Chain A
Amino acid sequence: MNILTLFVIIPVVTAFAIGFSKNMKQTRVVAAVGMGLQLLLSAYLVYAYLTERAAGNVAEMLFMYDALWFESLNIHYLVGVDGISVAMIGLTSIVVFAGIFASWEVEYLSREFFISLILLATGVYGFFISLDLFTMFLFYEVAVIPMYLLIGIWGSGPKEYSAMKLTLMLMGGSALLMVGLLGIYFYSAPDGAPLTWNLLEISKNTIPVEMQRFLFPFTFIGFGILGALFPFHTWSPDGHASAPTAVSMLHAGVLMKLGGYGAFRVAIFLMPDAAQEQAWIFLLLTATSVLYGAFGAIFQKDLKYINAYSSVSHCGLVLFAILMMNQTALNGAIIQMISHGLMTALFFALIGMIYGRTHTRMINEMGGLMKVMPFLSVVYVIAGLASLGLPGLSGFVAEMTIFVGAFQHTDAFHRTLTIAATASIVVTAVYILRVVGALLLGPIKNDHFNHLKDARWFERISTVTLVVAIAAIGMAPLWLSNMINVSLQPIVTKLSTATSTFVSLF
Chain B
Amino acid sequence: MTGNIPLEYFLVLSTLMFFTGIFGFLTRRNLITMLMSIELILNAVNINFVAFNHYLYPNQLQGHFFTLIIIAVAAAEAAVAIAIIINIYRSFKSIEVDKVNQMKN
Q: Do chains A and B touch in the complex (CB under 8 A)?
A: no
B-side residues, CB < 8 A to A, are none
